[in-house]
């Protein structure tokens, strides 16, 4: 969701023209039963055409990182530089099923306040940072209660595809930066071999004192590395 990039985007805008995007089924973007990386790439291409962008540098975190890696396969001409944040092109084991359950169990239409959502959610989601991150996805309905901004059912239905391997027909040779948190286990040392096969000009940077949510947990060091790369 683009809200998660607000602070980074604001600081980047001192030097660059910045667009932040809600992918389909997230934030303010349209909901759809269909959700795949090729479709997200088509959405990004349409966005660029609408805004008269012949090329740009793309930054994506986690699922967004897989999306921009696939963009390098389908629309390589769109990309100047590529930055992938804390994700590898490999297939991942399901790791969010408990979070899905907690979100489905939340009686969101009957909630009276965000504090009530926090209290109920805390019974299943123990980590405060994860709770706050997920609860950013709720908003109050005009008729009372709350609802999810994201299309929870569609994301769940397409989850196997979301965690699947990203494959490229041809290596992407433009400058590429993989930024990982030093406390994260999403990208391992052995993943670099496969990454370099697909992105032969890739560089790797580890951000200290950061886990998977690199740009939120250590925004200063993250911004320094990203700005140096884009410049």
Given the residues 26, 61, 212, 215, select the one marked as catalytic: 212
Given the residues 31, 36, 55, 62, select the one marked as catalytic: 62
Is 26 among the catalytic positions? Answer: no
C-alpha to C-alpha distances, 34 to 16, 71, 155, 160, nearest whole angstrom: 33, 17, 9, 13
Is 215 among the catalytic positions? Answer: no
Q: Which residues pair with 205 in a beta bridge?
A: 179
The residues annotated with a catalytic role in the active site are 62, 212
């Amino acid at each position: 969701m683009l809200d998660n990039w607000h602070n980074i985007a604001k600081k980047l805008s001192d030097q660059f023209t910045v667009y932040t995007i809600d992918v389909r089924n997230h934030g303010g973007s349209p909901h759809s039963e269909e959700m795949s990386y090729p479709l997200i790439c088509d959405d990004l291409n349409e966005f660029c055409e609408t805004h008269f962008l012949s090329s740009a540098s793309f930054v994506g975190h986690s699922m967004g990182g897989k999306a921009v890696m696939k963009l390098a396969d389908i629309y390589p001409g769109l990309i100047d530089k590529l930055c992938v944040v804390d994700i590898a092109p490999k297939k991942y084991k399901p790791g969010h099923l408990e979070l899905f359950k907690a979100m489905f169990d939340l009686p969101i239409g009957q909630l009276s306040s965000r504090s009530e959502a926090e209290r109920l959610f805390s019974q299943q989601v123990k980590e405060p940072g994860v709770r706050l991150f997920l609860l950013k996805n709720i908003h109050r309905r005009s008729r009372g209660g709350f609802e999810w901004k994201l299309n929870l059912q569609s994301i769940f239905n397409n989850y196997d595809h979301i965690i699947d391997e990203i494959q490229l027909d041809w290596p992407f040779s433009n400058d590429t930066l993989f930024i990982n948190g030093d406390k994260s286990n999403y990208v391992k040392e052995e993943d670099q071999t496969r990454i370099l096969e697909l992105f032969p000009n890739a560089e790797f940077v580890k951000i200290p004192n950061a886990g998977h949510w690199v740009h939120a947990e250590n925004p200063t060091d993250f911004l320094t590395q990203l700005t140096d790369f884009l410049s």
